[in-house]
Chains A and B, each alone.
Chain A
Amino acid sequence: MPGTKEIRTKIASVKSTQKITKAMQMVATSKMRRAQERMKLARPYALKMRNVIGHLTQANPDYRHPFLVTRTPAAIGVIVISTDRGLAGGLNANVFKQTLLLLREWQGKGAQVSLCLIGSKGLTFFRRLGLPILANVSGLGDKPHVKDLIGTVKVMLDAYRAGSLDRLFLVNAQFVNTMTQKPSIEQLLPIEALDTEGLQEHWDYIYEPDAAGILDGLLMRYIESQVYRGAVENVASEMAARMVAMGAASDNAGKLINELQLIYNKARQAAITKELSEIVGGAAAV
């Protein structure tokens, strides 16, 4: 039976691939749930932070922190969050595409652009462009921690304070639902539109030591928490995208196996028919 052995080996290999993709799909599903949990856990902190900052800025109208002042944008910084591993469908590609559009838009306006990359896929992609990369961190894993992001964010904040950046953006994959993840672009600095409704104006805090120092500490932590949220959301998106991609891969493998099985059966049958007709032909000849 010529060729049938090769088809059998191929079927076996596709089957083992299917096992892997199925396992990856299941792992991604459980990791996605956990990442979603962490997304939820990060919310109260950011909300509270916004509230306090909103109150602070309202209570001290004469003190303008540099993070709250809009300057004419001559240079912008973009923090791009990407995954460390592939096999997540078009997730990273979509994020990079949006980032490129953003970069081109600002370059069109004559602004300098520089990047800060979180995740190794972004690094491999963006270093080809030859744009300045100010900071980088990869290998955060499935559970990013704030402490791994502090340094990276600080580089960008320092650049902003020093005046070498006038805007700071965050690009990451937004987790809409399991089937949909879309790139989101968010302006981190200057901070705009703070929640000030529902705040009474007739009372103020006692500040220790002073309002300016506290505001500075709070704003820094607020930006860090935003980047952390972006990183966690990106993990959730990565897992969801991988889950869908691996599900599709498993389906395709199944289809391929069916097709190969059909071809194998036909080849086998043809071989038997041939053999039979040879025997019959031989018997007739006798």
Chain B
Amino acid sequence: MAEPITIQVDIVSAEGELFSGPAAMVFAPAKEGDLGIHPRHAPLLTLLKAGEVRVQTPDGEEHHFFVGGGALEVQPTKVTVLADTALRAKDIDEAAALAAKQRAEEALKDKVGHITIAEAQAELARAMAQLKLIERLRKLRG
């Protein structure tokens, strides 16, 4: 019998590689519905929704990965899942953007925050201590 037909699967996210190896079949949650991919699948590019990617290895094992979304690239001998590490949805992204905006606005409002004063004081105290030490060293040497 010839070698079992397999397809190379790579699941990568921006924060690291999740899986890499041969598979007999891959299931992925595409935006338009779940997909099952056999080796020698036609080239395909699609976006994924949040869900589970299942990889069946040639020896019958099954690996499960949760993806928050992402993209799927299929070539006849290779499947690449570009996985999102975070759960992605329009309103979640929107809320995050709003929070980032608000933080910027708040930061601009208190122009002379307590942080700067505290920092300046600490800096001053440090400089004073340094000066004192130098003075003492001078006296002792002179």
Contacts of B133 in A (CB 8 A): 10
- The main secondary structure of chain A at its interface with chain B is helix
Contacts of A263 in B (CB 8 A): 137, 140-141
CA–CA, A52 and B30, complex, Å: 17
- A residues 180-217 in Cβ contact with B at 8 Å: 203-209, 211, 213-214, 217
Is B13's CB within 8 Å of the partner chain A?
A: yes
A214/B71 in contact, CB under 8 A: yes
B103/A52 in contact, CB under 8 A: no
CA–CA, A44 and B12, complex, Å: 7
CA–CA, A212 and B70, complex, Å: 15
Name which of B15, B16, B42, B70 has the most chain A CB atoms within 10 A of its CB: B15
B82/A48 in contact, CB under 8 A: yes
Is A109's CB within 8 Å of the partner chain B?
A: no
Q: How many A-B residue contacts, CB cutoff 8 Å? A: 147
Count A-side interface residues using an 8 Å CB cutoff.
56
B100/A135 in contact, CB under 8 A: yes
CA–CA, A46 and B13, complex, Å: 9
Shortest distance between the CB of B7 and any CB in chain A (Å)? 16
Cβ-neighbour of B86 out of A147, A211, A213 (below 8 A): A147
Contacts of A49 in B (CB 8 A): 82
Contacts of B82 in A (CB 8 A): 45, 48-49, 52, 218, 221
Q: Which residue of B lies closest to A216 (CB)?
A: B47
Cβ proximity bits B111-142 to A, threshold 8 Å, 1 near / 0 not = 10001100100000000000001001100110
Shortest distance between the CB of B64 and any CB in chain A (Å)? 20
Q: Hey, which bits of chain B sit against chain A, CB under 8 A?
A: 10, 12-17, 30-32, 42-47, 70-71, 73-74, 80, 82, 84-88, 93-101, 103-104, 107-108, 111, 115-116, 119, 133, 136-137, 140-141
30 A–B pairs (Cβ distance < 8 Å), ordered by A: A3-B140, A10-B133, A10-B136, A45-B12, A45-B13, A48-B10, A52-B45, A52-B80, A124-B115, A127-B111, A137-B100, A138-B103, A145-B85, A151-B93, A151-B95, A152-B96, A154-B100, A205-B73, A205-B74, A206-B45, A208-B46, A209-B46, A211-B45, A214-B45, A214-B71, A217-B47, A221-B70, A221-B82, A259-B137, A263-B137
Q: Hey, which bits of chain A sit against chain B, CB under 8 A?
A: 3, 6-7, 10, 38, 41-42, 44-46, 48-49, 52, 56, 116-117, 123-124, 127-128, 133-138, 145-147, 150-152, 154-155, 158, 203-209, 211, 213-214, 217-218, 221, 224-225, 228-229, 259, 263, 266-267
> What 5 A-B pairs are tightest by C-beta distance, nearest first?
A151-B96, A147-B86, A41-B16, A135-B100, A208-B46
